[in-house]
Amino acid sequence: MRTRRIAVVSAGMSEPSSTRLLADRLGNSIAQRLDAIEVDVIDLRDIAVDVAQSMLSGFAVGGARDAVRAVEEADAVIAATPVFNASYSGLLKSFFDIVDKDTFVGKPVLIAATGGSPRHSMVLDHALRPLFAYLRAVVVPTGVYAASEDWAAGSGDTATLADRVDRATGELAALLGGSRQRPEPVDTDEAGISNFARLLGDSLSQS
């Protein structure tokens, strides 16, 4: 089996970085789902100067050159960014601007973001998803957003951060052609599906 390569791009600026933490979670999750996989984490904070110089020169230089090559050769990309002014960071955009846009044609991409408030989660669908749609990538349906409160276990009644990570990486694994972890079969009686179908049949027979 050919080894599949995943490039995980983190645009976190602080140290420590919640964006890098989320990127690592996503990378570890996809690694647990697939056999013969190599995960390459690219921390843009470490090569920010090289990214800027690459923008000026028109071609990738220094550490940016290796990072660009890792993305271009990857079978899939995970892109994680902090939210800045209701959008992705300038560092993330600058990096992907120096990657050949044809690299992303048909390539699976998982998008993720971090921010202080749940309100900023719209950055996934209003900024990141359009960016990669323009690049003609195949963006997985589930984006992963982590607000400050999501790092605390058992926060709220909605799906936890771990649930969202599992769902998103499961979708990415499916696009890559397989997963060790399969979804549990649905109990149709417990879910009410069989009862609904029976009621629907009764309704149709009476109409």
Return the structure tokens found at 197. 């179908």
> What is the per-residue pLDDT across 19-75, written as a single tens digit (0 to 9) for each?
999 999 999 999 999 988 999 999 999 999 999 999 999 899 999 999 999 999 999
| pLDDT at res. 20 | 96
- CB contact burial 121-131 (16+ within 10 A = b; e otherwise): bebbeebbbeb
User: HSE on the CB side for 41, CA within 13 Å?
Assistant: 19
Average pLDDT over residues 156-165: 76
Percent of the chain with pLDDT over 70: 82
> What is the per-residue pLDDT across 97-138, written as a single tens digit (0 to 9) for each?
999 999 999 999 999 999 988 888 999 999 999 999 999 999
Q: Please name the residues in contact with 80: beta carbons below 8 A apart, sequence gap of 6 or more.
A: 8, 9, 10, 11, 12, 19, 20, 22, 23, 26, 112, 113, 114
Average pLDDT over residues 9-16: 91
Average pLDDT over residues 161-184: 81
| pLDDT at res. 158 | 52
pLDDT over 90 at 193, yes or no: no
Question: How far apart, in whole angstroms, are the C-alpha atoms of residue 175 and residue 177?
Answer: 5
Mean pLDDT of the chain: 85
pLDDT over 60 at 178, yes or no: yes
pTM over 0.85: no
Question: How far apart, in whole angstroms, are the C-alpha atoms of residue 9 and residue 2?
Answer: 22
